[in-house]
Amino acid sequence: MKKITVALDCMGGDRAPQIVVEGADIIASTNDNVHFLLFGDEKKVAPIINHCRHLKDRYSFIHTEDFISSDEKPSVALRRGTKSSMRLAIDSVKENQSDVMISAGNTGALMAMAKVVLRALPSIDRPAIVTSIPNQKKKATVMLDMGANVECGADVLYQFAVMGHAFARAVLKIENPTIGILNVGSEELKGSDAVKNAAILIKESAHLKDCFYGYVEGDDITKGTVDVVVTDGFSGNITLKAIEGSVKLVSGIIKEGFTDSFWSKLGYLFAGPSISRATKTVDPRMHNGAMLVGLNGVVVKSHGSTDRIGFANAIKVSVSLVENKINEHIINELKPVEIADSKKEKIIGDVS
């Protein structure tokens, strides 16, 4: 089996470089097929590595004191961050030194740099952040965009549908994924012009029309009503954070309920294992790691506030994407789709 090289932006994230290096150590302890390229400030990273026994002989270190701050504007990051840990990690993918890069840092800067360095796939205007959210059917709902593109027109939403469909087929192994567009209601009259026009494009697409369910609402995501939910980055990011916040709220209430009396603590002895399994299923850390889909290279975004367990899961996701040859699948899925044809432009013009 070909060894997989993972490039890590050690300086990106709320608790970097601690959680990045410790997350890599967790993976190194269970997967002998992964080698790491660590990009960061040696003075800050080396002391952490010294306490990670599984990383020994499993990494190469590239020193840089430059890093991208969480509040740095993408345009500024592009100009000034050419030697930053984030940029060098992306460059390693471009130069085939690594198979995938991961960062928990500034999302806007990551997308901007990745798009400039790696370029978008043919027929894709804007790459998107895609992730899988657990649902009631004990499966997962693919959702994009999760924050890379705040405002999206019908063309871009349609491209998201194409990429989401390909992602669900390649990663989740769903033969004919169903697609829904996130809206304020399921009725055809509701929604913005961009949403309505995107729905028309999908309905008229020879490639996707048979997979289109229609409009879905927020609660359909966790119900598993469709396999792929398409939305703009503004709505997608808010939705994801709301779901994660709800999970933490419910988990906290349950934990408090089982610790407020002797009898509740006794009850936990019997119910504890089942509760732990259920909590792990919806734990955001277990679903950390979202791909920037639509690029000529594999880039994964980790939550900036995650811990070492969450970052380790992002690495697992990254390795899985490489092993599944995700970009090859997406490219093959895009071949029969003619996004910029005259018929599509005529449809948008007629509706507008």
For the segment 238-294, what is each residue's pLDDT rounded down to a tens digit? 988 888 788 778 777 777 766 777 666 666 665 666 666 655 666 667 778 889 999
Residue that is last in its domain, among 118, 145, 174: 118
DSSP 335: T
pLDDT at 156: 92
Q: Return the higher-pLDDT residue of 342 and 142.
A: 142
Give the mean pLDDT of 199-206.
Answer: 89
Residues making up the chain, counted from first to last = 352
> What does the alpha-carbon distance between residue 73 and residue 69 come to, in Å, rounded to a whole number?
9
Q: In the chain, what percentage of residues exceed pLDDT 90?
A: 53
Residue that is last in its domain, among 72, 99, 118: 118
pLDDT at 7: 97
Please name which of 261, 263, 260, 258 lies closest in space to residue 275, comparing C-alpha atoms: 258
Task: Say how many domains are in the chain.
Answer: 2
Range of 166's domain?
Answer: 123-287+326-352
SS3 of residue 43 by DSSP: helix
The answer to the question of residue 311 being in a domain is no
Is pLDDT above 50 for 52? yes
23 and 158, same domain (yes or no): no
339 pLDDT band, cuts 50/70/90, is: very low
340 pLDDT band, cuts 50/70/90, is: very low
352 pLDDT band, cuts 50/70/90, is: very low
DSSP 116-139: HHH-BPTT-SS-EEEEEEE-TTSS
pLDDT at 283: 63
| pTM (two decimals) | 0.82
Give the mean pLDDT of 150-161.
Answer: 91
pLDDT at 263: 60
Buried b / exposed e along 189-218 (16+ C-beta atoms within 10 A): eebeebbbbbbbbbeebebbeebbbbbbbb
pLDDT digits (tens, 9 = 90+) for 280-317: 666 667 778 889 999 999 999 998 889 999 999 999 99
Rounded to the nearest 5°, which phi and psi values hold at 129? -95, 120
Residue 54, token pair as written in the block? 């599984």
DSSP 198-228: HHHHHHH-TTTGGGEEEEE-HHHHHHTSSSE
pLDDT at 104: 93
> What does the alpha-carbon distance between residue 294 and residue 57 come to, in Å, rounded to a whole number?
33
Is pLDDT above 90 for 188? no
254 and 134, same domain (yes or no): yes
Is pLDDT above 90 for 2? no
6 and 43, same domain (yes or no): yes
25 and 156, same domain (yes or no): no
The answer to the question of residue 235 being in a domain is yes
Average pLDDT, the chain: 86
DSSP 38: E
Residue 321, token pair as written in the block? 């994407």
Going 155 to 160 to 166 to 168, the CA torsion angle's sign is: negative
pLDDT at 282: 60
pLDDT at 138: 79
Q: What is the largest CA-CA distance in the chain?
A: 70
Residues with Cβ within 8 Å of 83's Cβ and at least 6 positions away in sequence, in order, are 64, 66
Give the mean pLDDT of 29-52.
Answer: 94
